A and B are shown apart, each in its own frame.
Chain A
Amino acid sequence: MIAEIGHFSLILALAVALVQAVLPMVGAARNNAAWMATAAPTALVQLACIATAFGCLMTAFVTSDFTVANVMQNSNSLQPMIYKVSATWGNHEGSMVLWVLILAVFGAMVAAFGRNLPPSLKARVLSVQSMTGVGFLLFILLTSNPFERVIPAPLDGRDLNPLLQDPGLAFHPPMLYVGYVGFSMAFSFAIAALIEGKVDAAWARWVRPWTLVAWSFLTAGIGLGAWWAYYELGWGGWWYWDPVENASFMPWLVGTALLHSSIIVEKRDALKTWTILLAILTFSLSLIGTFLVRSGVLTSVHAFATDPERGVFILLLLVVAIGGSLVLYAWRAPLLKGGGLFAPISREGALVLNNLLLTTAAATVFIGTLYPLFLEAFDGGKVSVGPPFFNATFVPLMIPLVLALGVGPMLGWKRGDLAGAIARLKFAFVFTLVVTIVAAYVSWGRSIFGVLGLTLAGWLVGCVLTEFGARIGLFRLESRDVLRRMTGMPRGAWGMTIAHLGFAITVAGASGASLWQDEVIENLRAGETLSIVGYDFTLRNVDTVQGPNYTAQRGVFTVRRDGVVITTLAPERRRYIVTGTETTEAALYSQWHADLYAVIGQGGGQDGGKESWTVRLYFKPLVPWLWAGTLLMVLGGFVSLSDRRLRIGAPTARRAAHRVSPTAQPAE
């Protein structure tokens, strides 16, 4: 019964979405206030329907209703509750319902909080948002019904993919989707603006918070995914340039560009058509990512069960959504009036450079990810170009990006003084030099690239601190005034400082983590000791442990440094009962500067009568900085989001009240 209610709610949601897609759009074209006014209530009803469907699906999972095919295939009665819940979105069908749920949440937020939007813009935005919804609801109902029944019902389910039974990955998809799907807002605003034929500072101010929300969540989602890969896949890599990772990284790169270019639209009224294009591209890449992951055109560890029929449907969806919006762009964008001019050396110029580098980086990732597909078209097969390609193309693009990122915020709007800016960066130069010398000394003869990475990170930190110091008048003003300036500093500026600092720390973490790790592999018997970089790991014993739905071999290590016990690590090798798959659960000990990482491998080697185990130990310098840096970026995003300027309605409503005639108020 519950499954049927869910199914019915989805159908109802589709009907409501159709109304929301058509009526407000036609109403806006005919200037019919009543029709436009249907946008907001339908958005709320659509959300209610989809939320009901999602709730029903989750109920089926929580109560282990194995008459529902989806539950049977992806859950098991032995599974811990948290994974029963997360199994709701740990499969293709369920994750698509989550997808449309988030889409509807964003639509409903515009409906609820967008009171100060001009009614025609609001109607068109909600209509476009709902068109996307119609496409995906149709996709779910026609090719991926999550509520299908199996009769007769099996006794038990097949278990969720063990790799997904992990706290990190349980919450990774919702985060990622809020990011992915959140860019739909920027997309809807862009399309609405193209139809309206008007892009101005106010438009940018409405788009920016949505982009910021999406960007912050996407950053968090990607970070969580990398963290999961780091400790779960068992050899401490955190980024594999896997198609699925790239699918989320491309929207991030272009979304970051969008975030920055919309500043120019807001402050300088320039770069409008470019910003519109970025908004379209960002969401298009989100859609393409969805296609790549689910159609089976590319192979990946994370792959959902793939199905060519679904592939055809999503491809049609892509052609209509992306093709349609690009046709609209080709037709309408030339009509948008350009705004303020600026010299190449200026804040705008620096942001344009940022945009060019980020989009080029996204393009290289795009080519690298799809190269196998291009090859396949010429009778090749599914192959992987792998990290060698990306390290050779992507990483070099990050060098000018970081260098320019340091200087950019020091330049003035419209026309900047590069010599002056560089002169003010004396401190940054000195700081960079110190960082380089320390890095070179610590890692002498090991990796020149690691030193280069830390140099770049040092430069960025130096620049960010210089800019921050200049803004608050550090060393220039009295401490009372400095404090006053700090508290008076706009949240947007705080956000920028924090996020840029986070980026620098991430760069440092990535350099250290990829270039300086140490590792040892050895067969160990109980009682034996293996050492790495001055840490001594003693294998105390290996026990068989019974988990709720798995059995595990757990090795217990005592870790000593100079004879002093610092921690105990207990890595596991699990075998899941239902599927028979094995996973490695690495054990980690994090310090501020490095992680100790232990993995227990296959046992069984009989060595002198006593059983021995393959043990792998890693010393991973600066890895914790990756996570800290990512967190700072996310924090920067949210701090920036809390800026007065973006607080929906606050300043604009007051100004709008002076300027705009009463008829332009929302029609609800």
Chain B
Amino acid sequence: MSRLVFIAPLILFAVVAAYFAIGLTKNASILPSALIDKPVPTFDLPPLKDTKPGLATADLKDDVVLVNMFASWCVPCRAEHPLLMQLARDKIVPIIGLNWKDRKTDAIAWLDELGDPYARIGHDPSGRTGIDWGVYGVPETYLIDRDGRIRFKYVGPMFPETFAEKFLPLIKDLRK
């Protein structure tokens, strides 16, 4: 047994290093979701701000929209935020926010500081609706078509390149 104790740290490190290696080579943030091509789950969330409407299943049926899950405690969301602001400014596609497992005041302060790109925001403090959507962690972004179906899901922060490559062609397709 004593020998094994001394080898254990080495084995543990080997496992961690293997993960690092995989993490470096993989950059795919596209997740095959069980919900792809299925209608969005049924839900009804209260608004985050008094000035903006909340979010329910019925709100996702008129247009091609992005649903972006975010939280003020989430650091990658901060990295992604300038892109969302730009998309909103250039009116590329309506962005709908789902504020996940967050305190109301924190989230509002966060949007105050960084700007608010969202057309409407649902507040999901318990994370229950997020679970129905199959959220792994934030940020996650979903593309919804005119019939209210999830057509694409992206996990992790989006950057201009990822958006141009993965989302733009699809959005154009869906708008036809």
Contacts and interface: CB of A to CB of B under 8 A. Distances in A.
A299 B31 CA distance: 18
B21 interface: yes
A329 B137 contact: no
Nearest to A374: B19
Interface stretch (A59-67, A82-90, A379-387, A619-627): A379-387
A447 to B, nearest CB: 13
Interface string A326-342: 11011001100000000
B20 A291 contact: yes
Contacts of A303: 79
B13 A323 contact: yes
A584 B136 CA distance: 31
Given A240-B73, A329-B6, A382-B155, A323 B17 contact: yes
Given A383-B138, A388-B101, A521 B20 contact: no
Contacts of A512: none
Contacts of A519: 105, 109
Q: How would you classify the secondary structure of chain A's contact residues: helix, strand, loop or mixed?
A: helix
Tell which of B21, B30, B79, B113 has the most Cβ of chain A within 10 Å: B113
A297 B112 CA distance: 29
A659 to B, nearest CB: 31
Contact of B157 (A311, A382, A602, A616): A382
A377 interface: yes
B19 to A, nearest CB: 5
Interface string B135-171: 0111110000000000000111100000000000000
Contact of B137 (A284, A334, A383): A383
Interface string A556-586: 0000000000000000000000000000100
B73 A383 contact: no
Interface residues of B, number: 50
Contacts of B133: none
Contacts of B24: 295, 297, 308, 311-312, 315
Contacts of A667: none
Contacts of A322: 13, 17
B6 A334 contact: yes
A247 to B, nearest CB: 13
Given A299-B75, A311-B24, A372-B137, A334 B109 contact: no
Contacts of B140: 381, 383
Interface in B70-122: 71-79, 101, 105-106, 108-110, 112-113, 115
A384 B74 CA distance: 6
Nearest to B82: A581
B109 A235 contact: yes
B166 to A, nearest CB: 12
A376 B26 contact: yes
Contacts of B112: 521, 601-602, 614, 616
B14 interface: yes
A300 interface: yes
A277 interface: yes
A277 B78 contact: no
Interface of B: 2-3, 6-7, 9-10, 13-14, 16-17, 19-24, 26-32, 71-79, 101, 105-106, 108-110, 112-113, 115, 136-140, 154-157
Given A300-B75, A381-B136, 9 more contacts: A234-B109, A241-B73, A242-B75, A376-B23, A381-B30, A381-B154, A384-B73, A601-B112, A602-B112
